[in-house]
A = this chain, B = another copy of it.
Amino acid sequence: MAQEQPASLAALTEAFARLPGVGPKTAQRMAFHLLQHDRPAAEALGRSLLNAIERLRPCQKCNHFTEQPICPTCLDSERDPSQLCVVETPADLLVLEQTQTFSGRYFVLMGRLSPLDGLGPKEIHLERLLERVAEDDAIEEILIATNFTPEGEATAHAIETVLRGRGLVPPRRVTRIARGVPVGGELEYVDLGTIAQAVRDRRTMQASEGEPN
């Protein structure tokens, strides 16, 4: 007796449910919302999906998504060629860009080392990162900005080890973004591991605050 859904509706709900964080109920709500209230949005989303997967490819230099062989950031001559920042994902790159504190170039790993999930050096494009560093004598510093999760830490450590093993560091430097109490953080509510790290990584205060280190 249970009602059969039209095939195109069932297919749509199923496709929505493949999105991260979207279960069957939410998928159904999205499908019905678009069909009932916003068909132009449905069309826009449909077309932009097909358009995006057709046009977007990894940048040959930094691995970020781009419509050209090499992305505008890598080609931008106003960026500092001496600094290369390694991030896990495009989202991390965008967050860093929003802080406007880094003016060098990027390399996007598109993941993190996680052997249990089958993510090894190949999946994070480690060899391509090494080539990128080796072929560019302008690079003086590799700033590793992977997450402070166990996987992100392991990834940072592995990258540093390999860079040293291949003789790419030194002469270059490897740095890591600072770990510590977040801006606006109150010690009482910050986890103990973070506070311990902030104590270990304490730095000398300047008479007037200038550049760190």
Contacts and interface: CB of A to CB of B under 8 A. Distances in A.
Contacts of A65: 6, 9, 35
A86 interface: no
Nearest to A59: B6
A137 interface: no
A46 B103 CA distance: 36
Contact of A35 (B20, B52, B71): B52
Interface residues of A, number: 64
Contacts of A50: 43, 46-47, 50
Contact of A56 (B3, B9, B49): B9
A110 B81 CA distance: 57
Given A91-B32, A97-B3, A46 B53 contact: yes
Contacts of A45: 12, 15-16, 18-19, 45-46, 49
Contacts of A183: none
Interface of A: 1-9, 11-12, 14-16, 18-21, 26, 28-36, 38-39, 41-53, 55-56, 65-67, 71-73, 78-79, 89-91, 93-94, 97-98, 100, 103, 110-111
